[in-house]
Amino acid sequence: MNDRFYYQDQRYGAWRRLLCLGLSLLLAEPMLAREVIAIQSTATQVRGADATINQALPSANSGGAATLTVESNNGASNQRAIVQFDLSLLPNVAIKQALLVMHATASTTNGFPRTYGAYGLTSFFREPDVTWNTRVANLAWNAAGGDIGGTATSTASVAGGIGTSTPVQFDITSDVQNWYNGTPNYGTLIRDQAENSNRDPKTTFGSRNGTAADAPLLDVTFLQNVTNLAAVPGNGTVTVSWAYPAPIGRVNFAENYNGVLILRRANFPVDKGSVPTDTQDPAMCSVIGSGTVVFDNTSLATSFTDDSSDPCGAPTNDTTWFYKVFLRDQKNYYSTQPITNGSVFTEEISGTPSATATNRQNSVWIAATFSTTLAAPSLFPGSIVMAGSQTNLSFGIDAVTGLRKYPPVSLGGPVTGRSPVIDAGDSSLASNVMYVADNDGLVYAIATDTGQILWTVNPTTLTTNGFVGAPSVQVKSFSDSMFTLAHDLLVVGTRNGASTTANRIVGIDGNTGATLWQTIGNAGGVAKMDIISSSPAIDFVNHAVWVTSRSGGATAQPSLWKLNPNTGAVLTTAALGDTDTDPTLSIPGDVLFVANNAGTIFAINPTTAATLKSVAGGDGAIISFPIALGLTSPYTVIFSGQTAVHAMTYDKTANTFTNLWSTTISGPSAPIGFTGGAKVYVGSADGKIHELDAVTGVDGKQRTANTGQPGIVGDPALDTVLSRIYISTNDQRAYGFTFPF
Amino acid sequence: MYTEKRGPARRAWGSGLLGCAVLCLVAGFSACQTGMTSGSGGGGNPPPPTDTTISFCDDGEGTCTPATSFSVASLRDLVINVNWENLSAGNHTQMVEVLQPGGGLYQASQSSFLVSDASQSSLTTKRTLPVAGAWISQRRMTGEWSVRVSLDGKAITSQTVQITP
């Protein structure tokens, strides 16, 4: 048990409160579910926050203060309290109830009693930055005083004349459920429901930085998900197995986990809205939404073999079957929650039975991402998979189990690039870190072990400069003495769609988030710069950063930029036409490969940026990036066009491209492979991952993520430690499979 | 399911309050003196706006001329304008959900704004969806897209837009 968190019984040590609570429980109906935990904020919880924002001091930040204040004052001096809980203990749960308890330590007397409201905040903020006017960096709230809806999630009455610690409770169940349903957790704002009073009623609450017992507390009732979910296909059978989680919180009397309910669906994952109703036990073979009840167990079974004895119909061979496994308790509460704004994350798995052993396949895990994501997941091989989302979230997924390492990290905007991760042993921050840039222009450093946001910046200080591509990192420990900056350097390009000339490339200090330099198009002697949708290539050999951009539809405007990483100075440019793909360096750094939107592949001299050779791919715009395999020339260059995956060699000495093979793939993603590997992997618009022979291009085997509609598979990522391949899709999920297939 | 679920929760809490209140009467414990009422809603929901429209344009064109169909080859940003009329004064939360062809959620965006008085009851919000260089153009996600808008938790309207090959 983490000592930063306390059970409610321990928290309320006063005998009178226990007596009060005991009598309440005697009179109350049974609790809702099995586990309850009280999470009390402390200053050391890395994902918690609280602060007071003060209308009279609209630029003052009070993060770190020992108290929080709510005040109603007609002298433009209202005060509001903001609270954000660290829910790290509860990464894989379904919320049944969440009660926010604020501890009032003092209140004035005039104008009381007051009604206070708890509101879910709808914009990202940071405790060190937040004020009445601003929320993070230099970004203002849409409405001064905090971005909230018109209706409080919950209200509570507060008495005047409080002199000792007194709990004030708000039921914020729906907000917390939404945080687990794909809505970012931006915390809760507490305000007086009748502000601008001429009697100046004011209440002081404990904060996470003051007296520990008076800190805000969240009392959560929940069910966990099953663990170790796996599927093993056979001939006309799929065996699904799982384990039961150890309790996290206090176990309620007579509320034990006692089994699972499993829904099944062919070809598609069970729809997000297809969930059993709490307190009801559906009949076998009954249909719940898009799923059929194929297993209804209340005796702690740990596996289920779906075969010809299944009264609902055996799983037919060569069809992919999806299973959604709901953990249940003795009163038939399930590991799910209401669908108000997105998917749910109840554990899922898939298997494809077949008469032929080699045709059998299964996912090793499926994880919810809540929105379309087609970027390759980032990963620490063997440990953690990081996936961004377009619901302003970043997920840390256990590479082995597919369970969340921690609740998703809430960010300010959608994340669409493949965010780089740097190991603690290499990072100048000396921690496992991921750098994220979002569509709304913010850049973040996130500790991947905990989900803690280490810093957030708006590097261009503007709101028009969003980021679609991810940053790239010049890791100082990998660099020679020509790299003179003190820490790792992030480089990222803006995508301001309204401008074809004034986009910019930004250099950011990896330790502090400080903007070190900006290279701004059409300013200071820099050529016009169109939108940048790609991630830069860091050239450790030639001491440069390479960035691709569009060219304003013109032939003369640069679309390849070579910068000095120390200063951002433009070293040279090339006009290759509109280019949305990432540039790719050969492993020795002697050739740069660039693929433009017209489908032309360029071999570039990385010293001069001159084109050595170009060749028409002949298959429309290239997807995401080409890959270049081989330790020496000739290199194998593999790329996806609109209808196929193509491979060619580039011989630097002869300066020639030679076609190797082309394999038709429906709507391919970028390919992925590695030097010396026998296979190349590519996602497809047919819902599958295709395994191609690296030498011949033969499409030998596939793995099915989701053949339904939608079923677009994004760029894959390979984990060579676990021999697993990870992909995200447009069906709001990420998948893991083993490779080779 | 949610409504059904909250019933017993409230009853349980209500019984708890009753127990606490009984004890307070007997012993006068200060811990029970504060009105620990909790409930959903903070003064009732404001009336919904009477007219809401969604329009689309391309930010890449100098002037934002509304249209209902765009070519993926030339569209840079799909600008989603939501025009609210007759909004009640106070804080509001808008949710814009962009649904891809086939209906799956592509992107969701939540934002809040303040209508200070009736004279500001008309308001237009703008959300920009990157297209050029993003997945929509790279993976040719063409077809009928739709945008669904809700206000303060209530679905208000939706509008389709074609992104053509």
ipTM, two decimals, is 0.91
As a whole number of angstroms, the distance between CA A701 and CA A354 comes to: 14
pLDDT tens digits for range A475-531:
999 999 999 999 999 999 999 998 999 999 999 999 999 999 999 999 999 999 999
Residue B37 has a pLDDT of: 33
Kindly report the average pLDDT of chain A as a whole number.
93
| A307 falls within a domain | yes
Residue in A57, A76, A54, A56 with CA at minimum distance from that of residue A196: A76
Task: Answer with the one of A536, A563, A578 that is the final residue of a domain.
Answer: A578
Task: Answer with the one of A578, A612, A647 that is the final residue of a domain.
Answer: A578
Is A291 in the same domain as A346? yes
A586 versus A4: the higher-pLDDT residue is A586
> What letter would DSSP give residue A269?
P
In chain A, the number of structural domains is 3
**Would you call the peptide bond into A626 cis, given omega within 30 degrees of 0 as the criterion?**
no
B46: chain A residues, CB-CB within 8 Å? 150-151
A122: chain B residues, CB-CB within 8 Å? 93, 110-112
Query: For A99, which residue in chain B has the nearest alpha carbon?
Result: B38
pLDDT tens digits for range A80-119:
999 999 999 999 999 999 999 999 999 999 999 999 999 9
Residue A251 has a pLDDT of: 76
Residue B121 has a pLDDT of: 73
Residue B27 has a pLDDT of: 33
Q: Does B92 sit within 8 Å of A149, measured CB to CB? A: yes
Residue B62 has a pLDDT of: 62
As a whole number of angstroms, the distance between CA B117 and CA A561 comes to: 50
Q: How confident is the model at residue A337 (pLDDT cuts 50, 70, 90)?
A: confident
Is A218 in the same domain as A70? yes
* All residues at 6 or more sequence positions from A397 whose CB lies less than 8 Å from its CB, including other chains: A365, A367, A377, A384, A385, A386, A387, A403, A404, A405, A734
Residue B59 has a pLDDT of: 78
| A458 falls within a domain | yes
Is A216 in the same domain as A229? no
A123: chain B residues, CB-CB within 8 Å? 111-112
Structure tokens at A686: 């047919």
Residues of chain B scoring pLDDT < 70:
1-50, 60-62, 118-120
**Would you call the peptide bond into A113 cis, given omega within 30 degrees of 0 as the criterion?**
yes
Residue B23 has a pLDDT of: 35
Average pLDDT over residues A397-403: 96
| A734 falls within a domain | no
Is A191 in the same domain as A264? no
Mutate to test the interface with B, among A122, A133, A463, A499 (most CBs of B within 10 A): A122
pLDDT tens digits for range A258-316:
999 999 999 999 988 899 999 999 999 999 999 999 999 999 999 999 999 999 999 99
pLDDT tens digits for range A141-177:
999 999 999 899 999 999 999 999 999 999 999 999 9
Is A179 in the same domain as A269? no
| A659 falls within a domain | no
Between chain A and chain B, the number of residue pairs with CB atoms below 8 A apart is 260
Average pLDDT over residues A379-404: 96
Mutate to test the interface with A, among B107, B121, B151, B156 (most CBs of A within 10 A): B107
Is A189 in the same domain as A238? no
Residue A242 has a pLDDT of: 98
Is A271 in the same domain as A182? no
Residue B50 has a pLDDT of: 64
pLDDT tens digits for range A529-561:
999 999 999 999 999 999 999 999 878 999 999
Structure tokens at A427: 């990072």
Is A128 in the same domain as A68? yes
Burial bucket for residue B22 (CB in 10 Å: 0-12, 13-18, 19+) = middle
Residue B117 has a pLDDT of: 77
Residue A459 has a pLDDT of: 96
Residue A272 has a pLDDT of: 84
A709: chain B residues, CB-CB within 8 Å? 102
Calculate how close chain B gets to A466, using CA atoms only, in Å.
Answer: 9
Q: What is the CATH number of the domain that holds A248?
A: 2.60.40.10
Residue A358: give the domain boundaries: 225-362
Is A181 in the same domain as A144? yes
Residue A256 has a pLDDT of: 87
| A711 falls within a domain | no
Task: Answer with the one of A578, A602, A631 that is the final residue of a domain.
Answer: A578
Average pLDDT over residues A594-623: 96
Q: Does A16 sit within 8 Å of B42, measured CB to CB? A: no
Q: Does A166 sit within 8 Å of B30, measured CB to CB? A: yes
Burial bucket for residue A615 (CB in 10 Å: 0-12, 13-18, 19+) = middle
* pTM for the model: 0.90
Average pLDDT over residues A632-640: 97
Is A181 in the same domain as A249? no
pLDDT tens digits for range A15-27:
444 444 444 444 4
- Hey, CA dihedral for A502, A508, A514, A516, is it positive or negative? negative
Q: What is the CATH number of the domain that holds A213?
A: 2.60.120
Calculate how close chain B gets to A533, using CA atoms only, in Å.
Answer: 5
| A484 falls within a domain | yes
When CB atoms are compared, the residue of B6, B100, B107 closest to A710 is B100
| A383 falls within a domain | no
B34: chain A residues, CB-CB within 8 Å? 104, 157-159, 162, 166-168
Q: How confident is the model at residue A710 (pLDDT cuts 50, 70, 90)?
A: low
| A671 falls within a domain | no
Structure tokens at A181: 């349903």
Is A78 in the same domain as A119? yes
Helix (H) or strand (E) holding A629: strand A627-629
Give the alpha-carbon dihedral of A648, A650, A651, A653, to 10 degrees.
160
Q: What is the CATH number of the domain that holds A556?
A: 2.40.128.630
Is A197 in the same domain as A283? no
Q: Does A533 sit within 8 Å of B134, measured CB to CB? A: yes
Burial bucket for residue A135 (CB in 10 Å: 0-12, 13-18, 19+) = buried
